[in-house]
């Protein structure tokens, strides 16, 4: 009975974090293009987490989001994971991308058109950690112009695995490290609160973190890691309300 309650609590906290990640990406990206959260894949019941289509005139401004902005300069699918993504989960993401590509190709064929390569989404799988065996199993490698922690599969798969805890602790990676876990996420929150008050993404990110705190706080049997996060966010919430 106790184990069942613990499993349910873990599932609930995972759902809370997953919803935060989707809302967070949607809020940060919506200024720069069209965002569809939890979009259904063709006639399949499976859903993708976030589908983003950039506005061409905004691609210069999106650089303010650092590495996340660089990922969003082309049509993109973001699949964030709270727990380390397994090989099966990554395969499922790639399968969903394949379904989208097939649907686009069928539509183009009906209209006797050719799909521009830029319109086919790039899949970004965001995972806190990943083993070397997992990365190697997908034939993924780093590219010098993307830095540490971003692994690209062979070209035609249009997929990259972003290992958040391997990203360097720079301003460029801040908006992705917010989606990390434990120490990595807490450090990113510290960096977030040190940003100038006029930063365009500060307010909305803090509001989403406050909502995350409230949802975690009322959840019974919250794991220790999430209790630490709640405690970290509590004074920020109070300080902000006093200003």
Least confident among 38-42, 134-138, 152-156, 174-178 = 38-42
Alpha-carbon distance of 233 to 213, in angstroms, equals 7
Residue 8: per-residue pLDDT: 58
Residue 41: per-residue pLDDT: 58
Residue 39: per-residue pLDDT: 65
Residue 48: per-residue pLDDT: 83
Tokens linked to 147: 């830095």
Kindly state the percentage of the chain with pLDDT values over 70.
88
pLDDT tens digits for 6-51? 455 567 788 889 999 999 999 999 999 999 876 665 545 468 889 9
Which residue ranges make up each domain of the chain? Answer: 16-182
């Amino acid at each position: 009975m106790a184990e069942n309650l613990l499993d349910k609590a873990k599932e609930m906290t995972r759902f809370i974090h997953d919803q935060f990640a989707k809302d967070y990406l949607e809020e940060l990206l919506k200024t720069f293009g069209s965002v569809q959260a939890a979009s259904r894949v063709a006639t399949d019941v499976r859903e993708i987490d976030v589908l983003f289509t950039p506005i061409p005139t905004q691609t210069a401004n999106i650089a303010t989001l650092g590495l996340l902005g660089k990922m969003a300069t082309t049509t993109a699918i973001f699949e964030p994971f709270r727990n380390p993504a397994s090989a099966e989960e990554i395969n499922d993401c790639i399968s969903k991308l394949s379904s989208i590509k097939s649907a686009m190709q069928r539509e183009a064929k009906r209209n006797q058109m050719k799909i521009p390569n830029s319109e086919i989404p790039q899949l970004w799988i965001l995972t806190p950690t990943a083993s070397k065996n997992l990365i190697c199993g997908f034939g993924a490698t780093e590219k010098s112009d993307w830095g540490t922690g971003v692994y690209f599969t062979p070209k035609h798969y249009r997929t990259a695995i972003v290992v958040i805890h391997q990203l360097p602790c720079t301003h460029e990676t801040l908006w992705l490290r917010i989606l990390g876990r434990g120490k990595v996420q807490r450090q990113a929150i510290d960096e977030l609160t040190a940003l100038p008050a006029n930063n365009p993404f500060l307010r909305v990110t803090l509001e989403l973190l406050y909502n995350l705190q409230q949802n975690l706080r009322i959840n019974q049997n919250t794991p220790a890691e999430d209790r630490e996060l709640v405690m970290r966010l509590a004074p920020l919430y109070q300080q902000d309300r006093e200003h």
